[in-house]
Amino acid sequence: MNAEESENRFISSSEAKEKSRSAYYKLLESAREGNMDCIRRGVYAKMEQLADAMINLDVVVPDGILCLFSAWNIHGLTTSLPQAYHVTIKRGRKIRLPEYPLIELHYITEALWELGVEEQVVSGYEIKVYNKERSVCDAVKYKNKVGIDVCSEVVNSYLALFNRNLTLLMDYASKLRVTKTLEKYLEIKL
């Protein structure tokens, strides 16, 4: 890991203890002075990191996957900015969330949890996010929660892409049980 990568990471108290006792005490002193913020027990971040467009997702929500508005934003499928980080975790799992940044959890069965997951580097953080096709299917699946206008915008933006994969899209639609609804959208748009 180079110096630039370590500058853009959240710091855990256990990592600081492994380096040395003085590094651990410097971390605690920095938090007391207000230069760092304790976002979760044992996890600290600099104020600039919290103001960034992305968080170190794996530290804040271990094994979390960005979904819905967060994924649509990363893929450029929507113009609306997410008010919180939308993160999917396995159903039945308990997570203690920090007060800031706002994180909205979505629970999903284990069978569908890893469907369409890809890793990307966003603002220097390596994160897991659902791919474009899975994100479009999620928009259709949760159209009543997110709104018909947002769903329509996501589908239209996806269909305008040059590198769209309709075969993969329909495969995911079948697994997520939104084939009929998605076919109606595609009939109108194509």
Residues 39 and 110 in one domain: no
- Overall pTM > 0.85: no
**Coil, strand or helix at 113:** helix
Residues 33 and 89 in one domain: no
**Band of residue 3 on the pLDDT scale cut at 50, 70, 90:** very low
Residues 29 and 107 in one domain: no
Residues 38 and 119 in one domain: no
Least confident of 9-23, 58-72, 78-92, 94-108: 9-23
Q: What is the pLDDT of residue 2?
A: 39
pLDDT digits (tens, 9 = 90+) for 142-177: 999 999 999 999 999 999 999 999 999 999 999 999
Number of folded domains that form the chain:
2
Residues 149 and 90 in one domain: yes
Residues 158 and 111 in one domain: yes
Residues 92 and 176 in one domain: yes
Residues 141 and 87 in one domain: yes
Residues 128 and 149 in one domain: yes
Strand 85-90 relative to strand 103-108: parallel, antiparallel, unpaired? parallel
Which whole-number Å values give the CA distances from 93 to 105, 130, 157, in the listed order?
11, 19, 33
Question: Angle at Cα 71 formed by Cα 140 and Cα 88, nearest 5°?
Answer: 80
Residues 28 and 121 in one domain: no
Q: What is the rounded CA–CA span in Å between residue 59 and residue 61?
A: 6
What residue numbers bound the domain in which 67 lies? 57-189
Locus of tokens 């590094």: 23
User: Over the chain, what is the mean pLDDT?
Assistant: 86
Residues 103 and 127 in one domain: yes
Residues 142 and 109 in one domain: yes
Q: What is the pLDDT of residue 183?
A: 94
- CB-CB contact of 163 with 92 (8 Å): no
**pLDDT at position 100 over 60:** yes
Q: What is the pLDDT of residue 49?
A: 61
pLDDT digits (tens, 9 = 90+) for 4-53: 444 556 777 788 888 888 888 888 888 778 777 777 777 777 766 655 56
